[in-house]
Amino acid sequence: VAATEISVLSEQFTKIKELELMPEKGLKEEEKDGARREKDHRSPSELEAERTSGAFQDSVLEEEVELVLAPSEESEKHILTLQTVHFTSEAVELQDMSLLSIQQQEGVQVMVQQPGPGLLWLEEGPRQSLQQYVAISIQQELYSLQEMEVLQFHALEENVMVASEDSKLAVSLAESAGLIKLQEGQEKNQLAERTKEQLFFVETMSGDERSDEIVLTISNLNVEEQEDQPTAGQADAEKAKSTKNQRKTKGAKRTFHCDVCMFTASRMSSFNRHMKTHTNEKPHLCHLCLKTFRTVTLLRNHVNIHTGNRPYKCNDCNMAFVTSGELVRHRRYKHTHEKPFKCSMCKYASVEASKLKRHVRSHTGERPFQCCQCSYASRDTYKLKRHMRTHSGEKPYECHICHARFTQNGTMKTHILQKHSENVPKYQCPHCAAIIARKSDLRVHMRNLHAYSATELKCRYCSAVFHERYALMQHQKTHKNEKRFKCEHCSYACKQERHMTAHIRTHTGEKPFTCLSCNKCFRQKQLLNAHFRKYHDANFIPTVYKCSKCGKGFSRWILWVGNSEVAELGGPGSGSLLRLQSGCPPGLHHLKAGLGSEDLLPGQLHHTTAGTGLSSLPQGPLCRAA
């Protein structure tokens, strides 16, 4: 319990209460427990005038609760010690009209409930120690006073000159064995009628000479927040302050208006129930999770979550729900397909209003959920949450087979489908033979190869023009086997430009590749490399392929695959070997120029004589020029 001292004009309270207090003793008590004792001989209206003058600006609380009490600046007395304490909600009992409730737990706790005119009552539990606590809650904040024995409360109405002595509620803890209410119902009503101001000032003071009595006086109070430390409680206080129970009579029918939210009700009970929505009053406790609720019905629904009790069962399927609302919604989604919320800009309709609200953002472009780390903003909370993984690096989804991790569940499922599943669906391009694993990639394929191009796509080899890339590529393939590069100086022709470049050097005599070791020059880089390895690389061991028939060695050989394909391997040499079907050389024999294809035996290595090359071999089903 803190003992914060504030200066305040306080005489008014004593005048209001008409209490006889001893300033000297009050000062002592104030030093001891922060309670304030002082007289004030002015009326509430005078106080209000001073209040509105706004001179008083001292802070009351030490820590998280900072309030500014507004009465005046004249008094230098210390009025109240306030500090937030943890409040257990045990035995909080409020009635519809309750204004104040008091209870004792570990000592004494005083809880000021508002808004609403009505009762002031106190509930007291067993005293457990001499150290008493008085907790005062003003608009959800809870404050504590220490070592208080006698509590006296005084609720005052704004602009009431002097409150009746009878309206005071004096409670002696020694006497209080249970609930103590205002003693006179008539006085309660009077108080209820007159009490309009919803903020209260709580004043504590010693009650008698024995120094074991403390008087709390609750009166009107302007509670203002520190500018730099707004609190939820204060916000509610302001809301509550503006909330007035307005009973308007129109003929025989009365309506009740809430100034906070414009709610109206025709019945007092409805109005009172509504007004509870503007407070944090939640007296119904779930004993399983300690959550609190405003009504028994809400609590009952909540407890059903714990127990698994789902009383609302769907007749069309085996689903069951805790609340009727869930069942109705489920039936709309799954069975009736009723979608009452329709978009005015498109054909979209939804079961829930929130879905329509979310959908409308796709029309308006509204992105209310801003990322705090980049410029991204999303249209709903989930997308922002998902986006935040890009900053945190979180990858919550793991492939159970290869343990690769992913940021999104869908990405992981695609991964499993593509990498670890059989019979993976493929997507056939409707315009070509391409088969692509993903639909989205097929779309990319279509866009790149089959989309119409406004600009003309010219063939590299002729004057043909196309507007589709795929058609151009198909056309250019027709040039593939053409020896379209023709020598200007002889009849040589070839398919590749680089070959023609090398050939031209035979006419120009150009030998641009020079051996750094012996200055010998070559027309082609490969020839230089072979020269260098053969004559200047000490570690070079030439590979020799021997003819199985005569034992003659050769530096290169030919891979013959099946009956139709020939691939040349190996470097230039004095001759060539020919292997019919790779990896199975039961024997080797020479191939001589002019040898017939019938002499080539499958599975055998053959060779050509030096200088003849395979191009001189006869063409046939088993042997093509390579």
Q: Is 227 or 422 the residue whose CB approaches DNA more closely?
A: 422
User: Does position 449 bind DNA by CB under 7 A?
Assistant: yes
> Is there a contact between 34 and 80 (Cβ–Cβ < 8 Å)?
yes
- Report the residue number, 261 or 544, with the smaller CB distance to DNA: 261
Residue 289, burial from CB neighbour count under 10 angstroms (0-12, 13-18, 19+): exposed
> Counting contacts by CB under 7 A, is residue 453 touching DNA?
no
Smallest distance, Å, CB 453 to DNA? Answer: 12
Within 562-601, the residues that bind DNA by CB under 7 A are none
End-to-end CA distance of the chain: 101
Closest approach of DNA to the CB of residue 263, in Å:
5
Among 45, 229, 246, 297, binds DNA (CB under 7 A): 297
Toward DNA, which CB reaches closer, 127 or 355? 355
Which residue's CB is nearer to DNA, number 274 or number 552?
274
Given candidates 28, 196, 359, 520, which one binds DNA under the rule CB under 7 A?
359
**H or E, element range at 68:** strand 67-69
Q: From residue 465, how far is each of 449, 452, 460, 468, 573 by CA, in Å? A: 15, 13, 10, 9, 45
Q: Between residues 53 and 269, which has the closer beta carbon with respect to DNA?
A: 269
Q: Output the six-digit token pair for 434.
A: 């391409």
Strands (E), 222-363: 223-225, 246-250, 253-257, 264-265, 284-285, 292-293, 312-313, 320-321, 341-342, 349-350
Report, in Å, the least distance between residue 120 CB and DNA: 21
Least CB distance from residue 11 to DNA, whole Å?
A: 41
Under the binding rule (CB under 7 A), the answer on residue 389 touching DNA is yes
CB 200 within 8 A of CB 102: no
Q: Which is nearer to DNA, 22 or 349 (CB)?
A: 349
Closest approach of Cβ 208 to DNA, in Å? 40
Query: Rounded to the nearest whole angstrom, what is the least distance from the CB of residue 43 to DNA in the complex?
Result: 38
CB of 381 to DNA, least distance (A): 5
- Cβ neighbours of residue 113 under 8 Å, at least 6 residues apart? 94, 98, 99, 100, 101, 137, 279, 281
Q: Where are the beta strands (DSSP E) in 477-519?
A: 485-486, 493-494, 513-514
Point out which span in 11-19, 128-136, 297-305, 550-558 binds DNA (CB under 7 A): 297-305
- Contact string 243-282 vs DNA (x = CB under 7 A): ------------------x-x-x---xx--xx--x-----
Q: Please, which of residues 98-117 interact with DNA by CB under 7 A?
A: none
532 is an interface residue for DNA by CB under 7 A: no
Query: Looking at 28, 181, 291, 624, which residue binds DNA (CB under 7 A)?
Result: 291
Residues 315-334 binding DNA (CB under 7 A) are: 319, 321-326, 328-330, 333-334
Please count the residues of this chain forming the interface with DNA, following the rule CB under 7 A: 86
Which of these ranges, 357-365, 482-490, 562-570, 604-612, lies near DNA under the rule CB under 7 A?
357-365
Among 25, 28, 32, 361, indicate the residue that binds DNA (CB under 7 A): 361
Kindly state whether residue 357 participates in binding DNA, applying the rule CB under 7 A. yes
* Residues within window 462-491 making contact with DNA, judged by CB under 7 A: 469, 473, 477, 480
Residues 399-428 that bind DNA (CB under 7 A): 404-411, 413-415, 418-419
Cα 534 from Cα 528, distance rounded (Å): 10
Distance CA 337, CA 574 (A): 84
- Name which of 426, 427, 401 is nearest 413 in CA terms: 401
Q: 7 or 323: whose CB is closer to DNA?
A: 323
Tell whether the torsion through CA atoms of 229, 290, 278 and 50 is positive or negative.
negative
Task: Tell me phi and psi for residue 217, to 5 degrees.
Answer: -115, 125
- DSSP string of 345-359, one letter each residue: SSS-EESSHHHHHHH
Among 97, 436, 487, 493, binds DNA (CB under 7 A): 436
Which of 429, 504 has the CB closer to DNA?
429
Q: Token pair of 404, please?
A: 């690769």
> Should residue 97 be labelled a site residue for DNA when binding is judged by CB under 7 A?
no
Q: What is the number of alpha carbons within 13 Å of residue 412 lying toward its C-beta?
A: 15
State the sign of the Cα–Cα–Cα–Cα dihedral 520, 521, 524, 525.
positive
Work out how close the CB of 525 gets to DNA at its nearest, in angstroms, rounded to a whole number. Answer: 9
Nearest distance from residue 496's CB to DNA, in Å?
Answer: 7
CA Rg value for the chain? 48
- Which three-class secondary structure state does DSSP give residue 548? coil
Cα angle, residue 440 at apex, residues 439 and 443 outer, rounded to 5°: 90
Q: Does 461 bind DNA (CB under 7 A)?
A: no
Rounded to the nearest whole angstrom, what is the least distance from the CB of residue 281 to DNA in the complex? 10
